[in-house]
Amino acid sequence: MNKELKAISLLHPNIFNGDDLDLDEFINSSNKTKTQLLSNKNFALNYLKLATHGETYIEADYKSQTFAFSSDEILADEDIILAISNSDPVFFKHINSSLITLEVLVNSIKFLEYRASNQGYGEHMDCYSNFSKYLSNNQSLNDVALIDGLDNIYGSSKPEGSGTPLWVKIIDLCGQAIFNDHESFKKILMIFIKGQCGDYEHDYEMQNYEFWNGETVSFWTEYIDLSRFQKKISDSSVLLQDDIQTLLCFLGFVLENQFSEYFALDEIPEKDKLDTLIDFLKSDHNNLAPQNSKKCIIQLLNLNIQENDFVHAFASEELQEDPDIIEAANKL
């Protein structure tokens, strides 16, 4: 505790336990006290830290309502906004959207994937819901620079996953500019493919693309507008690049062969739209027949998917026995 916080604790002993802020006592203190203390940057930073990482469970809405007493200066402070990106996104409710930079957005995504799983029973989905509510219109979601940040989170690092559908929702939110940029489109497809193949495993005993909120199970198709996703792909200026077509055909194969332990095949949400999307993905506009192409199969192996059985099953029987394919698979 720095000297400034120490002085505050001595002036307000009723909301501190020694050197530690008592969140419950502070949240229930007078509006005057909350307004006064949340105009202090060090106190506000400490509040955000405890609200996210403290041991006392308090519903996010109550913590957010308290944070609303912060001064305008605090709510526009870069350090405060960056601290919020390492907290439940509910606090973004009080921040002007123009102040939420690309760095802040990526940091918030990273927090949700690496830290939200530790937030307590069901809170991981609350954090996801707050991200969708307060950050889904962020201008950086149409910035190709976003993809480098996403690649650092989902690419080679392979997060264990928070058990949220965030990796699905990001695909849904990304703008057309990302789908029109060759490298960005490839990377966003790789992220989506890895998620559908099980790379972002979570602690819940279900498929990677099924999600538990503490009460019910949901399927990934509930978190993306499948028709809009298909249209963004169809409208892409780089749709006919061979490497893009390879990824799309493989994604169609993966989705077609998914199964659920909780939904019967005909009960999968948005099943008709999903079937239409799968047919579109498998249409193979360039007549590549990637399952018969050694080059295409090696491209897919180089995605470094944890479960390479998907790539093996996608490949033709002849290529499954090809020495070069076997060698490439064994190197992973």
In this predicted model, what pLDDT tens digit does every residue of 31-64 receive, in sequence order?
999 999 999 999 999 999 998 887 777 888 999 9
Domain boundary among 51, 67, 99: 99
In a domain, 179, yes or no: yes
In a domain, 7, yes or no: yes
User: Do 206 and 92 sit in the same domain of this protein?
Assistant: no
Contact (CB, 8 A) for 62 and 95 = no
User: Do 62 and 149 sit in the same domain of this protein?
Assistant: no
> What pLDDT was estimated at residue 231?
98
User: Do 127 and 75 sit in the same domain of this protein?
Assistant: no
* Tokens representing residue 162 in the block: 């928070």
User: Do 56 and 89 sit in the same domain of this protein?
Assistant: yes
User: Do 119 and 207 sit in the same domain of this protein?
Assistant: yes
What 3-state DSSP class applies to 219?
strand
User: Do 128 and 9 sit in the same domain of this protein?
Assistant: no
In a domain, 287, yes or no: no
In a domain, 131, yes or no: yes
- Please count the structural domains in the chain: 2
In a domain, 56, yes or no: yes
User: Do 106 and 68 sit in the same domain of this protein?
Assistant: no
Contact (CB, 8 A) for 317 and 306 = no
- Domain range for 20 is 1-99
260 Ramachandran zone, left/alpha/beta (phi>0; psi -120 to 50)? beta
Which residues of the chain have a pLDDT value below 70?
115-122, 156-162, 201-206, 307, 332
User: Do 51 and 142 sit in the same domain of this protein?
Assistant: no
Domain boundary among 32, 64, 99: 99
- For strands 210-212 and 16-17, give the pairing: unpaired
- Alpha carbon distance 103, 131 (integer Å): 15
User: Do 16 and 38 sit in the same domain of this protein?
Assistant: yes
| CB neighbourhood size of 58 (10 A) | 14
- For strands 16-17 and 217-219, give the pairing: unpaired
- Alpha carbon distance 181, 193 (integer Å): 18
- This model's pTM is above 0.85: yes
In a domain, 138, yes or no: yes
User: Do 191 and 69 sit in the same domain of this protein?
Assistant: no
Contact (CB, 8 A) for 305 and 252 = no
Buried b (16+ CB within 10 A) or exposed e, 259-298: ebeebeeeebebeebbeebbebbeeeeeebebbebeebbb
DSSP one-letter code for 17? E
User: Do 67 and 154 sit in the same domain of this protein?
Assistant: no
Domain boundary among 196, 215, 236: 236
- Alpha carbon distance 54, 43 (integer Å): 15
User: Do 79 and 111 sit in the same domain of this protein?
Assistant: no
> What pLDDT was estimated at residue 156?
63
> What pLDDT was estimated at residue 56?
74
